[in-house]
Amino acid sequence: MFSLAAYRLGAKVFSFDYDQDSVNFTKYLKEKYANTDNRWTVEQGSALDKEFLKKFGKVDILYSWGVLHHTGHMYVAFENVANMVANSGHLFISIYNDQGGASNRWKWLKKTYNNSNIFIKYLIIFYTFIKQWWKDLFLDTLKGRPLLSLKNYKQNRGMSPYYDLIDWVGGYPFEVAKPEEVFNFFKERNFELQLLKTCAGGLGCNEYVFKLKE
């Protein structure tokens, strides 16, 4: 979807993902909205594959939203994408916030989910549903509008609550970083932070926009 938006804004777009289903969906969007236009290329590849990344050369905008923390080698991925940005170019990334012990527990739960049978997986999904939804459902009930948050979630989020739970508990590898760790890493590589949006120390992603100095 982000690739389609960039294409419609006039950019020459190179889209790639490690997950073949994501690649196939992006190809579907290209065929539907861009057909054979060579301004938009879609391939399967990894942010950890230096040889693969060389084909793109230096780019003006590198956009990787909520991806690099799922590679299993987040700081290697940071290094690789940093090397792809042209002088005065921009890097947009979104990275899971480090909550300390809570992040470690989520990492354990995600790993367990991916290595378990279907019965254990459903137990983890149920546990996560209760943990993440009980407050909203309780408040909905107090207001006389039971399940309203669940009913409105897909419209607001674009994903059903059930599949969003699966997306969360199944998202492994899972790495996190404090805002200052990400800032310092890219500062040492001559990047200037232009925009930062944090999740206020909570569960979620911190969002960064960096610019590479000339």
DSSP track, 110-174: HHHHHTS-HHHHHHHHHHHHHHHHHHHHHHHHHTT-TTHHHHHHHHHHSS-HHHHHHHHHT--S-
72 and 114 fall within a common domain = no
Count of structural domains within the chain: 2
Mean pLDDT of 118-126: 96
Instruction: Please check whether residues 16 and 76 belong to one and the same domain.
Output: yes
Which tens digits make up the pLDDT trace of 1-52?
999 999 999 999 999 999 999 999 999 999 999 998 999 999 999 999 999 9
115 and 152 both lie in a single domain: yes
pLDDT digit string, tens, across residues 151-199:
898 888 888 999 999 999 999 999 999 999 999 999 999 999 999 999 9
**β-pairing, 40-44 with 59-65?**
unpaired
Same-domain pairing of 91 and 178: yes
Specify the CATH number for the domain of residue 20.
3.40.50.150
Residue-by-residue DSSP string for 31-71: HHHTTT-TTEEEEE--TT-HHHHGGG-SEEEEEEES-GGGS
Are 116 and 133 part of one and the same domain?
yes
| Domain region containing 191 | 2-98+174-212
Looking at the structure, tell me whether residues 29 and 135 fall in a common domain. Answer: no
pLDDT of residue 157: 82
pTM of the full structure: 0.90
Asked whether residue 94 falls in the same domain as residue 105, the answer is: no
For residue 173, whether the previous peptide bond is cis, meaning omega lies within 30 degrees of 0, is: yes
Q: What confidence score (pLDDT) does residue 175 get? A: 97
Over residues 96-118, the mean pLDDT reads: 96
